[in-house]
Amino acid sequence: MKRSMAVLVAALSLVASACSSGATTAPAATQASASGAPASVSAASPIASTSGIDCAGGKQATITFWHTYNTDGPETKQLNDVVIPAFERYCPNITVKAVVQPYQGLHDQLVTAVAGGALPDVMRMDIIWTPEFAKLGALTEVDTLPGFDQLKSQVFPGPLATNAYQGKYYGIPLDTNTTVMIYNPKIIATPPTTMDQLKADAIAAKGTNKWGLGLGGDGSWNIFPWIWTLGGQITNADYTKASGYLDSPQTIAALQWLIDLKNAGGLGPSTLGGKPDSWGGFQGGNYGMINDGPWFFPAIGSAMGAQPAVMPTGPGGSISVVGGENFVIFKTSPNQDADWAFAKFMLSDEAQEDMAAVGQMPVTNSASASNAMTSVDYYGPYIQQLKTALPRPVVPAWTQMDTILSNAFDAALRGKESASQALHDAAAQIDPLLGQ
């Protein structure tokens, strides 16, 4: 999930269009051309189509932006050389000081900063951390800020949901990703459209050192799409109870479906951390299908002729899992208006498409639907899948919950416990966490 997408769409030159509009009119230098076409966006040109952004009323401000964009690829360079300068041209009264933070250890650093009052103004935050820091009282509630409802209507619901906590929103989605099914047409001639067909194809493809399906592991990121598509649930809708949902007959049956596939020889050893791993096995012809993100194609998939498709349909629909980062504002920031102006700019088509050019998958419908984006043949299924993709439970105790779930899935798939017992025990452990 955290694999860099830096080479994903490096050739894209995306068409700019408005993400939001409002009563505020952009300066004349930032308006569209006389022909009606948006002005081009580059490091030396003004930004167009940002009329919904109020630049903090012209008040001078310097805001500190922590992020984890990669430094060994083009992401940080694009942010520093293109996106931030464009924002500062549009809002010359606001200066953005971007600070790269290593992902390793950042969570604990943030917890310490909350206690010590050493937080930045704004941050690109892992989606799984947002509810935890909302609970700690560290984040600004953004659904009361001007223009939020308009932004809300522009973004995919799955990424947006990762910002919700106790009925309020504490951030906006910034970039996203999901997984789809990927097929080797030399082994699986036609992508299956139903889960029954997928199981049959996976079992039919088995042979010596050969399996129809290989997953990247047995953690929630890899298992949730199968649970959801097969009609299972993890918790109730408001994330307050796991018992009766995680151990429901439907969820037990969904996990048992994977166990049966493994026992029948259709599910490969990569699922339990064995060799070959999912990428190596796919490349070596050991796996006919894997489930992975769009970064797979520029890395090895396109050269192999691999084909993507949305998850086959099951009792729960065609569902995958949402990944990505959110943009959050810390309550301690003295520059709330300037922070929100920068947040809205980062969700504009201009910024979304500039970052997409170096591999950050857009969160807005308009940026994702641009001609340049949809012309990338392997990208379409990911955009389609995001319309139904679901977030992992948006709860402060997600890290502990994830460990419990991974242990339960692993025990059931290894045959150490029945699916029913593993999920029942996990639900009992998770219930107290959901009340925290």
What are the structural domains, with CATH classification, of the chain?
Answer: 28-177+323-386 (3.40.190.10), 180-321+397-434 (3.40.190.10)
Tell which residue, 126, 395, 387, has the closest CA to residue 237.
395
114-118: average pLDDT: 90
pLDDT at 362 over 60: yes
Q: Is the dihedral of CA 414, 420, 423, 425 positive or negative?
A: negative
Tell which residue, 115, 110, 124, 108, has the closest CA to residue 64.
124
For the chain, give the mean pLDDT.
87
What is the DSSP code string of 301-361?
Answer: IHHHT-EEEPPPBBTTBS--B-EEEEEEEBTT-S-HHHHHHHHHHHTSHHHHHHHHTTT-B
pLDDT at 21 over 70: no
Instruction: Quote the percentage of the chain above a pLDDT of 70.
Output: 87
pLDDT score of 426: 98
pLDDT at 109 over 60: yes
pLDDT at 222 over 90: yes
Q: Which of 165-169, 340-344, 353-357, 394-398 has the highest mean pLDDT?
A: 340-344
Provide the pLDDT confidence category of residue 225 given band limits of 50, 70 and 90: very high
pLDDT at 7 over 70: no
Pairing of strands 172-177, 180-183: unpaired
CA distance 178 to 5: 12
pLDDT score of 39: 28
36-48: average pLDDT: 31
Q: What is the enclosing helix (H) or strand (E) of 94?
A: strand 94-100
pLDDT at 9 over 50: no
pLDDT score of 297: 87
pLDDT score of 436: 63
pLDDT score of 62: 98
- Identify whether the C-beta of residue 229 lies closer than 8 Å to the C-beta of residue 385: no
SS3 248: coil
Least confident of 26-40, 251-265, 358-372: 26-40
201-228: average pLDDT: 97
pLDDT at 138 over 90: yes
Least confident of 80-84, 163-167, 247-251, 406-410: 163-167
What does residue 213 show for φ and ψ, rounded to 5 degrees? -135, 135
pLDDT at 24 over 60: no
CA distance 281 to 275: 8
Tokens 């955290």 locate to 2
SS3 372: helix
Tens of pLDDT, residue by residue over 121-131, are 999 999 999 99
Tens of pLDDT, residue by residue over 144-187, are 999 999 999 999 888 999 999 999 999 999 999 999 999 999 99
Least confident of 21-35, 89-103, 215-229: 21-35
Instruction: Quote the percentage of the chain above a pLDDT of 90.
Output: 75
pLDDT at 2 over 70: no
Neighbours of 111 (CB within 10 A): 15
Provide the pLDDT confidence category of residue 372 given band limits of 50, 70 and 90: low
In order of 17, 70, 177, 366, the CA distances from 6 in angstroms are 23, 8, 13, 21
pLDDT at 49 over 70: no
- Identify whether the C-beta of residue 335 lies closer than 8 Å to the C-beta of residue 343: no
264-279: average pLDDT: 97
107-134: average pLDDT: 94
pLDDT at 25 over 70: no
What is the DSSP code string of 33-72?
Answer: PTTSPPPP--TTS---S-TT---GGG--EEEEEEE---SS
Q: Which of 33-37, 194-198, 320-324 has the highest mean pLDDT?
A: 194-198
Provide the pLDDT confidence category of residue 106 given band limits of 50, 70 and 90: very high
pLDDT score of 50: 58
Provide the pLDDT confidence category of residue 299 given band limits of 50, 70 and 90: confident
50-75: average pLDDT: 89
pLDDT score of 13: 29
Amino acid letter, 224: F
